[in-house]
Amino acid sequence: MAERQRGGGGAAGEAPEDRKPQSDEARSAFTPPLGVPLPPPPEDEHPTSEFAVPEGIAPELPGEPEGSAFTLPAGAVAPDSSTTQSTLLPGYTPPYGMPKVSLTKDTPWQDRMRTMLRMPVGERPAPERAAKQDEPGPPVPRVLDLTLRIGELLLAGGEGAEDVEAAMFGVAHAYGLDRCEPTVTFTLLTVSYQPSLVDDPVTANRTVRRRGTDYTRLDAVFRLVHDITSQGLTLEEAYRRLAEIRRNRHPYPGWGLTAASGLLAGAASMLVGGGAVVFLAAALGAMLGDRLAWLASGRGLPEFYQFVAAGLPPAAVGVALSALHGYVDVQASAVITGGLFALIPGRALVAGVQDGLTGYYITAAARLLEVGYLVAGIVCGVLIVLYGGVHIGGATLNPEAALERVERPVIQIIAAMLLSFAFAVLLQQERHSVWVATLNGGVAWVVYGALADTAGLDPVPATAIAAGLVGLFGQLLSRYRYASALPYVTAAIGPLLPGSAVYFALLNFAKNELNTGIASLTKAAALALAIAIGVNLGSEMARMFLKVPGEAASRRAAKRTRGF
């Protein structure tokens, strides 16, 4: 506009003929007329805003920056490779994801795999064996087949459902299958692998048809899983070793197992006050029952009938000695009690209660139902003979006489160790673990005797405390040798089994004294439950003293439901 006015001033000095009249469009209402000077320019080029602070009023101090959901709160430390979740605020999820879980291979594979098994799938650490660009991925069908075969041997050997799942997950994870979910029930093994969220899952299963007690094979499978998860065996090497494990024969012959059952029954009869004649009679009855059970097994009869057959000879020997009470002074009740010690399924009972305490209720219910059927078979076999002997043969079986406990500490400790030794042989344990289980059984009986006999404690809590020490020592020994805890625990609880309580219940049933029989049977059930809970509690206490594989990977368990 100033240029235009200067141009206008210059036009006044020109000739009138050169001046042209301006049109009305060239004029503006905001243009000063000719001869009027322009107004001075404003001092401040920025006009005043209604949001400006008036003069004389101090401006407000700048406030704190507004927080963000992705900003570290005050006092928090930014996570790095050395920061774990325990150093952060409680309930705080880092913006950069969860800290990396360090699962070192120095700890036993049972603890490492159980830790990852209880994690959500998204928080599990990736396998260390990452496939290269030019190498194909893991052979999924072969890995799943190997996983199922290893789980089958462990479940058939009596291992708990949680340890079987941990072993299956460890094998699959070691060969690169990170998104893998194993599932174990009483007779069915299932494993599912999903490569990614958009791929279809691959699922395989295997049914366990036969179960047996061979702890030598169980230890070999544990060592195989340890080598796979820690030393990186190839699939061919793992299959070769698995085939060798399945081909291996039992370490003890058949006649050795029969002799071990006789030794177990004889040692058990000495625990309840028997002498040398009672020892021989109980051993004879148990060996006859073992051979009769083998005959029934060879004919294809179910286990229920095998236990019925195994319970007949010990009861028959005891009734026969009771009928000769005028000629031979023998404690017949101790003979029958010794035979019952050799038949009570303590291994299945402990495994069933352990599965229930760790949350595998379907497997636990199936195992306990199996124990119920086996005990019912024993009851049928022994009760048939007792009923015939009491009501037909005139046998005088007095349970009160058998209740008279004779304190013979040295003899009873030796008998308890012999019982554990024979039990370990029957379980087909390796020779180096037989002696450890024998010592563990002797310690258990010493603790029980000190609490029940010397201190006068009730037998149920005394049994639970002694079984807890068995589980504690067994778990520590198994972690030291990277092996299963069953060989160090199952045989050691043999002296604590409620053989005498079961016998008293059956004898009272045979005499039609139902109230007394039910009371004795309830006591036997309480003692059996105390053994199982004590063993499991001792194992959990042992894990408390072991090195946890990573602070952020602590063992997670289900929360208490609080009634809903």
pLDDT (tens, 9 = 90+) of the chain, 564 residues, equals 444 444 444 444 445 545 555 555 555 566 667 777 776 766 555 555 556 666 666 666 555 555 555 555 555 555 444 444 444 444 444 444 444 444 555 566 666 666 666 666 656 666 555 444 445 567 889 999 999 999 999 998 888 888 899 899 889 988 888 788 899 988 899 999 988 778 888 999 999 888 878 899 998 999 999 889 888 788 999 999 999 998 887 888 888 999 999 999 999 988 888 888 889 999 999 999 999 999 998 888 888 999 999 999 988 888 888 777 655 667 778 888 888 888 888 778 888 888 888 888 888 899 889 888 988 898 888 888 887 776 665 556 655 554 455 678 889 999 999 999 999 999 999 888 899 999 999 999 999 999 988 888 888 999 999 999 998 888 888 877 778 888 889 899 988 888 778 878 887 787 788 888 888 888 888 888 898 888 888 877 877 766 544 443 444 555 544 444
CB 256 within 8 A of CB 422: no
φ, ψ (nearest 5 deg) of residue 188? -130, 130
CB atoms within 10 A of CB 401: 13
Report the predicted TM-score, pTM, of the whole model to 2 decimal places: 0.72
> What does the alpha-carbon distance between residue 385 and residue 396 come to, in Å, rounded to a whole number?
13
Of 503, 485, 505, 491, whose CA–CA distance to 445 is shortest? 491
Asked whether 555 and 114 are in contact (CB, 8 A), the reply is yes
Alpha helices (H) along 272-345 = 276-298, 303-323, 332-341
